[in-house]
Amino acid sequence: MVCPMRFVLVAISAVLALTAVVLSNRPEGEPGSASSKTREEQQAERARSWKDGMYFIRDAFTGKYIYTQLVRYRGGARAA
């Protein structure tokens, strides 16, 4: 039987990961300051970062992220 605490821990971890992604993608400048980027460029950048975050979440849950880090650490050699 699966322990219900596992689901609580996964939910808390997901919330913390999403919070970290959102906080790390905040704009650098002050909200009222003039920026060289247009509004369309800023929206495209936010959408791209959101997609990257969703891909990371998918890879983290499937184990692909850990596998790619392992392969990168070992220099591209496959485990025998």
45-79 tens-digit pLDDT: 777 777 887 888 888 788 887 888 888 888 765 55
The pTM assigned to this predicted structure is 0.38
In a domain, 21, yes or no: no
- Per the structure, the count of domains in the chain is 1
In a domain, 79, yes or no: yes
In a domain, 54, yes or no: yes
pLDDT band at 80 (very low <50, low <70, confident <90, very high): very low
- C-alpha–C-alpha distance, residues 1 and 12, integer Å: 21
Exposed / middle / buried, residue 51 (Cβ in 10 Å: 0-12, 13-18, 19+): exposed
- Indicate left, alpha or beta for 78 from its phi (over 0: left) and psi (-120 to 50: alpha): beta
- Mean pLDDT confidence for 8-13: 86
- Domain of 61, in residue numbers: 38-80
In a domain, 29, yes or no: no
